[in-house]
Chain A
């Protein structure tokens, strides 16, 4: 529904009262979901240009030059509302949508990632979080597996603020040739072809549904058909190779109304659409149902008359239904005809550009309250127990239960596989590789949206550096509650400012993104949940590193640990305490440490690097020991720190820290001294009777058998396999 101001604006621009169809199309396109009316102004703050950027945000997917005439495309989407109602269908159609964005740029999808957020699942008798988690994973698995695109990585977070809700973010990465990028230029009399699924009543008002707080509405959720998507991928690739396509766009939120107005505006031509030509599931669909249906697996292609037959022959060969629904005109209107009679006529630029809204922002009062009433927890006594407890928390524990359901090998590009390193590495060819990782941290962002978002950016970049990659692009997915509430809008604003500051400082462009508001149920809004994706390039296969420790390795840490406990796993999950100072980011130091690690890799001083973040140092050390299946012995006195308490040293989530292993400790020291990093050699990997030893001089030794650690780390398997009845 349009607001009264929007209604007035539309009438004024049209010079007449819009008819019901025009009103329906406009209100769909002007929904928050399609129009970005609350966020567009702030998004302008983000740096989008860079040496590798060919096409930045604003298109279906960003395009990055990776040399040799190759490009990669990348995009991120969410499907939160639909997944909260129908987790299987919602998640699956989310995957389908983001893949079509990659196809639309003329590239072949080569990898998928996902970032998922649910309420805690350990004691879930009273909530549906385990059911949501299980079926979201199945929806993503079934869709990605069927179309043969590997799901190569992701992250999962559990937090009470997602009760009876979930966040399902899916990112896709594509590979193509620079000279095959679709020009997006068309001329008078070119044809508009709709291909794929017949249009039906599924997903009616999906975009509007996603633009308000969640109320269960099953008819707004779409139905997935991965087989058809696979055929669309292959047919589109063939048509691209044969130069058949002048412009194309996928149909997503807002259906034909949204797709046609945005495409008409971007090619700068008018469209004349005949609705009776649209192939439909049911003949009785009304014009407005046709215009706003969100039936999945549909694409719009613009082709010249000359290429029409060649193009439709390709579609026919794959058995894809299609219809010629209109032509391009030398004006700038979107004209809708029914049996030759005009039933709607709107300027595309009017439709595609909702009047922007200035939202008020006020620092939320919860921040003051938390600060006022927060009391630090007492130091724990039994460290072994605490460490194992944190390790077994689903936030930290191995996500094997998830990624084993995803085909992460198909395509034969997956060099660093899920569970093997800090980020996924895909090969472009035998000399160039891309590394990609998604990271979010709603606990940090809740307590400090600015520093929390900086932390996500830093963590995502750290993770890809830990595989040897230089960051070349950032994607962001900003998920918040209702932006009409000033306290929510304030958190959004802080988050954008953080991305702008980070990316400008690091000279890493933002190449794609998405904003999702109204992530609320009747229980209230979710915690601010920006999800950041970092994309990096590795040149030379010798520069790919993992986090696998070997016997005899010396262990080093780069970076000093501070008392930054706010939002940490230790506070939130062990002590159930919300508050404290969130890890802040020193941009200079972050860059210095990042570049130093890359240099150590390039100089062949290390081939084993691990990021130190969620759960803190203790957890990161154990993860390395488990990865290498080897004991470690660490002298806690040697760790550079600013902590008064041992628990803070072990569990602080301070940014810009890396752990690495080396067989050349003295070379590493010389190198790091020269670069001016704070670092220390803290221990060794070896037999140590198969234990992880953390020694504090003569005072105490925390000793955890590897086997025990592994058992805790595999807790998610146990939680999920304990229930197979639905």
Chain B
């Protein structure tokens, strides 16, 4: 059976929300991983949830990036297994060097919590297999430091390598370069995104008239893992 690890740092606060979607809605076996855990090799994928790890002290994500569990997460990613960072999780992935670039304070200088639409630009990651190119996903953002920034050359190469997975469709809520909402690593198995799919996975939480298509992100992961398990079984 597939098992997903959900990392909990001191100050993580979307851990229970992600758990609820994976465990209760999708019936995926999910376990919390306290940040001091030093062995995670039995997990098939890891999710870094949103929140304010270490109270965003110094800079969002920078302390958590040096937490013992991050060495394990890196190893897991090097094995090609899926790693998803949401909001603060994205900030941690960037601070730990697992994803390029930096997340700066929003251009408006205020925290911004609102519903957005994001466009899918890459459907070949473990998290986007069930999405269509240019599909629009209804999803809220809630962050103070979500302005993705990178030098022009790397930006061009991200574009070329299809590492820009999601971008904001209408208004850019934070001033990100190229309206970037989420990027993946070269290999495609590590994805960081500022919007919160776990807040848009249950129809009852959707604003009037919008559908909960963000759940496809988790369902894609589920499909990816089940296929992989089948392949592995056959190999054995």
Contact = CB atoms under 8 A, between A and B. Distances in A.
A427 interface: yes
A430 B204 contact: yes
A231 B10 contact: yes
A552 interface: no
B142 A415 contact: no
Nearest to B201: A412
Interface in A398-419: 403-412, 414-415, 417
B57 A227 contact: yes
Contacts of B17: 410-412
A151 B20 CA distance: 20
Contacts of A573: none
Contact of B113 (A147, A405, A430): A405
B155 interface: no
A230 B111 contact: no
B208 A142 contact: no
* Highest count of chain A CB atoms <10 Å: which of B21, B51, B57, B110: B110
B198 interface: yes
B202 A145 contact: no
Interface in B77-104: none
B10 A145 contact: no
Interface in A404-456: 404-412, 414-415, 417, 420, 427, 430
B196 A409 contact: yes
A230 B13 contact: yes
B112 A405 contact: yes
Contacts of B142: 145, 407, 409-410
Given A230-B52, A409-B142, A410-B14, A404 B114 contact: yes
B145 to A, nearest CB: 11
B109 interface: yes
A541 interface: yes
B36 to A, nearest CB: 9
Contacts of A408: 113
* Highest count of chain B CB atoms <10 Å: which of A227, A407, A414, A427: A407
B110 A405 contact: yes
B144 interface: yes
Interface in B52-70: 52, 54-57
B144 A145 contact: yes
Contacts of A5: none
User: For this complex, into which size category does the number of interface residues on chain B fall?
Assistant: 20 to 34
Nearest to A225: B55
Contact of B52 (A227, A404, A427): A227
A546 interface: yes
A724 B112 contact: no
A227 B205 CA distance: 27
B55 A230 contact: yes
B52 A409 contact: no
A404 B55 contact: no
Contacts of A406: 111, 113
Contacts of A616: none
Contacts of B207: 417, 420
A148 B57 CA distance: 16
A686 interface: no
Contacts of A227: 10-11, 52, 54-55, 57
A252 interface: no
Nearest to A407: B142
* Highest count of chain B CB atoms <10 Å: which of A230, A231, A403, A546: A230
B140 interface: yes
A410 B16 CA distance: 10
Contacts of A411: 16-17
Contact of B111 (A145, A546, A724): A145
A141 interface: yes
B199 interface: yes
B114 A146 contact: no
Interface in A211-248: 225-228, 230-231
Contacts of B55: 146, 225-228, 230
Given A148-B51, A231-B10, A409 B204 contact: no
A145 B143 CA distance: 9
A293 B130 CA distance: 57
A103 to B, nearest CB: 15
Contacts of B10: 227, 230-231, 318-319
A427 B206 CA distance: 13
A227 B142 CA distance: 18
Contacts of B50: 410
A158 B234 CA distance: 69
A415 B113 contact: no
A546 B207 CA distance: 11
Contacts of B11: 146, 227, 230-231
A548 interface: yes
Contacts of B202: 412
B51 A412 contact: no
Contact of B204 (A142, A146, A231, A427): A427
A560 to B, nearest CB: 31
Contacts of A405: 110-113
Given A410-B17, A412-B205, A145 B110 contact: no
A160 B164 CA distance: 51
Contacts of A147: 13, 52
Nearest to B36: A317
A228 B113 CA distance: 23
A142 B113 CA distance: 12
Nearest to B15: A148
Interface in A342-395: none
A708 B208 CA distance: 23
Nearest to A415: B204
Interface of A: 138, 141-142, 145-148, 225-228, 230-231, 318-319, 403-412, 414-415, 417, 420, 427, 430, 541, 546, 548, 724
| Closest 8 pairs between A and B when the two form their complex, measured CB to CB | A148-B13, A227-B55, A407-B142, A146-B52, A412-B17, A409-B199, A407-B113, A405-B111
Interface of B: 10-11, 13-14, 16-17, 20-21, 50-52, 54-57, 109-114, 140, 142, 144, 196, 198-199, 202, 204-205, 207-208
